[in-house]
C-alpha cells in the first residue's frame, strides 16, 4: 500500500469520486500543507493558514499508480484554474499533489511534463509538510448527505463514474 494526497477543490467531491477508482483502498478528507500544526478539532474562527482541502488516498500500486490517479483527478478539475474549482474560490481550493515519497512527486512531474498543455497546468506538486484529517462530518460527506451535492462542482454522474466497477 502507498499513500498520496490529492487536492482538487472541495474535498467532499474529490473524496466521493476517488474512493471508487480501482486500486484505491481507502480515503480520508483533510487539509494539507498549511503553516501551523492545527488539530482536527480546532474550530477557532479565522484559523485558516494556507491549508489546501485534500483527500488522503491509500492505494494498491499493483492496481493503480500516481500517473493513473492524476489522470482521474484531471477528470474532475479544471487544471488551469488557480485557487478556484467550480463555485469554490480561495487558496484552500487550489489543486495539488502532495506526498512523502520523492518517487511519487517525480512521477507526478513527469506526467505533467508529458502533456501538451503542461505550461498551462496550475497544480502544485510538493512534498507533504502537514496533514490534518477533517472532522467526522466531512468524511464521506456526499455519501451521507447527497442533498449537499449542489455545493459540489462535480456532476453527480461523474462522481459515481467508477462506483459500480
Q: Which residue has the higher pLDDT, 164 or 39?
A: 164
Q: Which residue has the higher pLDDT, 48 or 25?
A: 25
Give yes or no for a contact between 54 and 5, defined as CB atoms under 8 angstroms apart. yes
163 pLDDT more than 80: yes
76-114 pLDDT, tens per residue?
Answer: 999 999 999 988 999 999 999 999 999 999 999 999 999
Alpha helical stretches, state H, the chain: 11-18, 66-76, 102-114, 141-144, 156-159
CA distances from 47 to 27, 43, 126 (A): 25, 8, 22
**pTM metric for this prediction:** 0.90
Q: How far apart are CA 121 and CA 150, in angstroms?
A: 27
Question: What pLDDT is recorded for position 37?
Answer: 57
30-75 pLDDT, tens per residue?
Answer: 999 987 655 555 555 445 578 999 999 999 999 999 999 999 999 9
Question: What pLDDT is recorded for position 150?
Answer: 85
106-157 pLDDT, tens per residue?
Answer: 999 999 999 999 999 999 999 999 898 988 888 988 888 888 888 888 888 8
Catalytic residues, by residue number, are: 10
Amino acid at each position: 500500500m502507498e499513500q498520496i494526497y490529492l487536492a482538487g477543490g472541495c474535498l467532499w467531491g474529490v473524496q466521493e469520486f476517488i474512493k471508487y477508482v480501482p486500486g484505491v483502498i481507502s480515503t480520508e478528507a483533510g487539509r494539507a500543507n498549511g503553516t501551523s500544526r492545527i488539530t482536527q478539532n480546532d474550530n477557532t474562527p479565522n484559523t485558516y493558514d494556507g491549508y489546501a482541502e485534500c483527500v488522503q488516498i491509500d492505494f494498491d500500486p499493483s492496481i493503480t499508480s500516481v500517473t493513473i490517479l492524476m489522470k482521474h483527478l484531471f477528470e474532475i478539475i479544471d487544471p488551469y484554474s488557480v485557487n478556484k474549482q467550480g463555485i469554490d474560490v480561495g487558496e484552500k481550493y487550489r489543486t495539488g499533489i502532495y506526498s512523502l515519497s520523492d518517487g511519487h512527486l517525480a512521477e507526478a512531474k513527469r506526467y505533467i511534463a508529458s502533456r501538451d498543455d503542461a505550461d498551462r497546468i496550475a497544480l502544485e506538486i510538493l512534498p507533504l509538510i502537514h496533514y490534518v484529517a477533517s472532522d467526522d462530518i466531512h468524511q464521506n460527506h456526499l455519501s451521507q448527505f447527497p442533498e449537499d451535492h449542489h455545493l459540489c462542482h462535480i456532476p453527480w454522474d461523474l462522481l459515481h463514474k467508477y462506483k459500480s466497477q
